[in-house]
């Protein structure tokens, strides 16, 4: 067992291309520096009336200073909190810097939250000012304003619809900036003086974590946290001022703050904002970013679209695609990792690049991607290696808001689909006795805002932070995340049981939509499986298997056979891993209905609600753990799409699956 061994990565030598953070120790100071250093280079782009418009670093600095002067006159004082609510628009990013110029603290809020969700962070952070994008956000704030006594002033960017609102505390962005320009003309050093007061250890931003349980927590991050973490990430990947990225994930999310703000300021690269949230794929193609981040679901969607369109393509194209993709699967990843590959294979791959991979990457807007990150959820190995095999340098990253993102990154040339990489520069990693991953780094947050108890329970005296994730470091030195620590349990024989780890392995099969694994304080692991209607339905169609409904299809012997093969494959995988080898799946059943948020079985973000499911399907669970039972019967209420209720009454088969002996010496109690 790894015990409390510490894994760490040394600081990398500072890059001559990047600014010295001892001198430029806040973002506003860096902005001033960038305005000199990269004055004529683009800082941000946005599409306006169908044409990309660029703003240079010098222009951005002037605009930020003007807006800051206007805000100062409206009464912003050092230490005030300024809420920022809106889509990825340059002005929203500039507002972050405006707040920092004045010594105020930006509090970005998820723009798609409903008014009730916005209320908590605004009240908790004692926000006095809010800078918002448009009427939608203004309306939300007005609806809760009487419950936010501290909120004084709202500034909106897009005047449409808001123009005639009578409230005196509403100001249009343009008006504030114009006023700021006048003030700066009278006193040119007005903002410079404020910027000079900023310190490296001042709080630079308070993002609120979404929080699956309880109220969100405000994570106070200092300039040191954000800038050092962003800097280390930048030198690790060799980011430079010529890179370009597309900012399309929520501003309130720490990842976007690091990738689209922190690293952009440090490296001086250009960040483009999509025209709107629906045009992201088109914009991606037009811009061709070199630095790209997306959660697994986006990569999955892109791949599905490609595959469906290839099925509709002509025979020649389809054959060509499959031939070269098969080849890429064989050698593509090796070529990307710079490993040795035979001449013929290399030439064939080159031809594939010319005919298939190149055009494909071009259509997807991934041609120029040097570094692509994915994080947040586990990504399916097939999806991951698809992108890598066509030459997109996609990597997994493990991070958290409390770390200012970076905890581990997969280094170039050492990419394994089942790990999240090695510690990022200056990050120390430790696996606690309980199996929980802990880290310490310059990015470690200062505190949870106004929540000392939570701070104390998350962060130790000497700066180690609990991630809440269970994981281990493998013999290659790579971190492997198993599950949320609180979900991890034990089988009766003492084996570690990590439900999500098992579920994810199964969910990577296209035929399987959803899985719920049971095993904590049980004799063995068993699971409910939801088949994917689209995938299995299309398989059934091709094999002349007619079916009446989801329930009917789920009960077919043939379908059970397919799923059984998948489960056995997973068991074989599990048997190779010492810690989880004992939690191979012994029995499973196919649920007669899709788990659905309308029935309370999933959260609105499609996460499985274990407790609820266990209660609702208790008879089926009993059957799974009754060795004599070959079937289980369930009666339950279901909700149809149109809101009507109905009763589900079904008997489902239970299937036993083969177990494999573990490679690492039998069923060992790994977590002990």
- Using CB under 8 A, list all residues that contact other proteins: 47, 49-50, 139, 160-161, 163-166, 275-276, 278-279, 282
Pair 325, 356: CB distance under 8 Å: yes
**With contact defined as beta carbons under 8 Å apart, do 24 and 252 qualify?**
no
The span from the CA of 450 to the CA of 453, in Å, is 9
Nearer to other proteins, 287 or 579 (CB): 287
**Could you give the CA distance from residue 345 to residue 523 in angstroms, rounded to a whole number?**
49
Alpha-helix residue ranges (DSSP H) falling in 414-488: 452-458
- Pairwise CA distance, residues 67 & 183, whole Å: 10
List CB contacts of 214: < 8 A, sequence separation 6 or more.
Answer: none
Give the C-alpha separation, 491 to 512, whole Å: 24
The structure tokens listed for 612 are 């609820």
User: Minimum distance between the CB of residue 303 and other proteins, rounded to whole angstroms?
Assistant: 21
Would you say 139 or 382 has its CB closer to other proteins?
A: 139
Closest approach of other proteins to the CB of residue 282, in Å:
7
Least gap, CB of 384 to other proteins (angstroms) = 28
Whole-angstrom distance, CA of residue 325 vs CA of residue 332: 9
How far apart are alpha carbons 550 and 473 in whole angstroms? 41
Q: Closest approach of Cβ 281 to other proteins, in Å?
A: 9
Give, in order, the Cα–Cα distances in Å from 372 to each of 203, 290, 292, 293, 350: 29, 8, 5, 6, 22
In whole angstroms, the minimum distance from the beta carbon of 164 to other proteins comes to 4
Pairing of strands 436-440, 203-205: unpaired
Question: Taking the complex as a whole, how short is the minimal distance between the CB of residue 154 and other proteins, in angstroms?
Answer: 15
Give least dist CB 597 to other proteins, A.
17
Give the shortest CB-292-to-other proteins separation in angstroms: 20
- For residue 436, list its beta bridge partners: 470
Q: 143 vs 639, which CB is nearer to other proteins?
A: 143
| DSSP secondary structure string for all residues of 513-546 | EEEEEE-TTSSSEEEEEEE-HHHHHHHHHHTT--
Burial degree of 180 (CB within 10 A; 0-12, 13-18, 19+) = buried
Task: Name which of 162 and 621 has its Cβ closer to other proteins.
Answer: 162
Q: Minimal distance in Å, beta carbon 80 to other proteins? A: 29
Q: How far is the CB of 278 from other proteins (least distance, A)?
A: 4
Alpha-carbon distance of 108 to 95, in angstroms, equals 10
The least distance separating other proteins from the CB of residue 49, rounded to whole angstroms, comes to 4
**In this complex, which beta carbon is closest to other proteins, that of residue 192 or of residue 286?**
286
Shortest Cβ 409–other proteins spacing (Å): 33
β-sheet bridge partners, residue 291: 245, 371
Residue 476: how many other CB atoms lie within 10 Å: 10
> Quick one: DSSP state of residue 581?
G
The angle formed by the CA atoms of residues 415, 472 and 6, to the nearest 5 degrees, is 95
Q: By C-beta, is 160 or 644 nearer to other proteins?
A: 160
Shorter beta-carbon distance to other proteins: residue 214 or 643: 643
- Minimum CB distance to other proteins smaller for 166 or for 338: 166
Identity of the residue, 161 or 188, whose beta carbon is nearer to other proteins in the bound complex:
161
CA distance 457 to 459: 6
The CB-of-591 to other proteins minimum distance in angstroms stands at: 29
Of 281, 460, 290, nearest in space to 373 by CA: 290
CB distance 425 to 235 below 8 Å: yes
Q: Which residue lies nearer to other proteins by CB, 363 or 432? A: 363
Sheet with 585-590: strands ordered across: 512-518, 525-531, 585-590, 645-656, 631-639
Of the pair 160, 542, the CB lying nearest other proteins is at 160
- Supply the minimum distance, in Å, between the C-beta of residue 159 and other proteins: 9
Q: Which is nearer to other proteins, 167 or 631 (CB)?
A: 167
The answer to whether the CB of 46 falls within 8 A of the CB of 40 is no
In the numeric block, which tokens belong to residue 635?
């009666």
User: Quick count: other Cβ atoms within 10 Å of Cβ 508?
Assistant: 18
Select 286 or 414, whichever has its Cβ closest to other proteins. Answer: 286
Q: Closer to other proteins at the Cβ: 278 or 475?
A: 278
Q: Judged by CB, which is closer to other proteins: 146, or 164?
A: 164
Q: Rounded to 5 degrees, what are φ and ψ at 493? A: -85, 5
Kindly state the smallest distance separating residue 91's Cβ from other proteins, in Å: 16
Q: Which long-range contacts (CB under 8 A, 24 or more apart) does 594-602 make?
A: 594/513, 594/514, 594/530, 594/533, 594/550, 595/514, 595/516, 595/530, 596/638, 596/639, 598/639, 598/641, 599/637, 599/638, 599/639, 602/514
């Amino acid at each position: 067992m790894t015990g409390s061994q510490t894994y760490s990565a040394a600081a990398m030598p500072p890059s001559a291309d990047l600014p010295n953070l001892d001198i430029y120790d806040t973002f506003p100071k860096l902005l001033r520096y960038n305005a000199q250093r990269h004055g004529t280079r683009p800082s941000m782009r946005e599409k306006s009336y169908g044409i990309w418009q660029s703003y240079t670093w010098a222009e951005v600095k002037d605009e930020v200073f003007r807006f800051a002067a206007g805000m100062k006159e409206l009464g912003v004082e050092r230490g005030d909190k300024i809420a920022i609510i809106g889509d990825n628009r340059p002005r929203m990013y500039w507002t972050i810097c405006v707040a920092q110029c004045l010594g105020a603290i930006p509090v970005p809020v998820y723009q798609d939250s409903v008014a009730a969700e916005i209320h908590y962070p605004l009240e908790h952070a004692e926000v006095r000012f809010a800078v918002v994008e448009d009427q939608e956000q203004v309306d939300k704030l007005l609806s809760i304003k009487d419950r936010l006594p501290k909120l004084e002033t709202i500034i909106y960017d897009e005047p449409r619809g808001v123009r005639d609102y009578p409230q005196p505390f509403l100001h249009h962005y343009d008006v504030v900036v114009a006023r700021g320009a006048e003030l700066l003309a009278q006193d040119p050093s007005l903002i410079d003086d404020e910027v000079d007061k900023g310190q490296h250890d001042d709080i630079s931003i308070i993002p609120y974590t979404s929080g699956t349980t309880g109220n969100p927590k405000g994570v106070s991050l200092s300039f040191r946290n954000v800038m050092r973490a962003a800097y280390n990430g930048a030198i690790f990947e060799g980011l430079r001022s010529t890179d370009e990225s597309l900012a399309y994930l929520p501003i309130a999310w720490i990842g976007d703050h690091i990738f689209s703000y922190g690293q952009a300021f440090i490296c001086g690269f250009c960040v483009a904002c999509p025209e709107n949230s629906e045009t992201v794929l088109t914009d991606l193609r037009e811009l061709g970013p070199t630095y790209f981040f997306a959660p697994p679901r986006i990569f999955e969607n892109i791949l599905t679209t490609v595959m469906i369109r290839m099925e509709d393509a002509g025979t020649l194209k389809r054959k060509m695609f499959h031939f070269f993709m098969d080849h890429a699967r064989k050698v593509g990843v090796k070529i990307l990792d710079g490993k040795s590959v035979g001449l013929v294979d290399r030439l064939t791959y080159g031809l594939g690049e010319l005919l298939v991979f190149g055009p494909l990457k071009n259509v997807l807007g991934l041609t120029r991607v040097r570094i692509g990150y994915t994080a947040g959820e586990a990504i399916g190995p097939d999806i991951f290696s698809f992108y890598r095999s066509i030459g997109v340098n996609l990597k997994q990253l493990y991070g958290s808001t409390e770390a200012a993102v970076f905890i581990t990154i997969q280094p170039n040339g050492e990419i394994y689909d089942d790990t999240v990489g090695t510690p990022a520069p200056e990050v120390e990693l430790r696996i606690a006795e309980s199996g929980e991953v802990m880290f310490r780094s310059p990015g470690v947050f200062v505190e949870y805002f106004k929540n000392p108890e939570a701070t104390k329970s998350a962060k130790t005296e000497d700066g180690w932070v609990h991630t809440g994730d269970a994981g281990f470091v493998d013999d290659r030195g790579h971190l492997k995340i198993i599950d949320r620590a609180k979900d991890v349990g034990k089988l009766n024989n003492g084996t570690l049981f990590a439900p999500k780890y098992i579920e994810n392995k199964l969910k990577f099969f296209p035929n399987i939509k959803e899985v719920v694994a049971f095993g904590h304080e049980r004799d063995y692991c068993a699971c409910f499986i939801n088949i994917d209607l689209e995938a299995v339905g299309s398989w059934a169609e091709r094999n002349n298997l007619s079916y009446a409904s989801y329930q009917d299809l789920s009960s077919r012997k043939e379908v059970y056979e397919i799923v059984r093969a998948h489960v056995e494959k997973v068991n074989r995988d599990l048997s190779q891993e010492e810690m989880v080898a004992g939690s191979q799946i012994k029995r499973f059943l196919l649920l007669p209905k899709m788990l659905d948020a309308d029935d309370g079985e999933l959260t609105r973000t499609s996460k499985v609600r274990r407790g609820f499911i266990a209660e609702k399907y208790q008879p089926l669970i009993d059957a799974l753990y009754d060795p004599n039972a070959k079937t289980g019967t369930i009666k339950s209420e279901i909700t149809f799409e149109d809101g009507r209720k109905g009763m589900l009454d079904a008997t489902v088969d239970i299937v036993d699956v083969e177990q494999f002996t573990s490679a690492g010496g039998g069923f060992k109690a790994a977590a002990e």
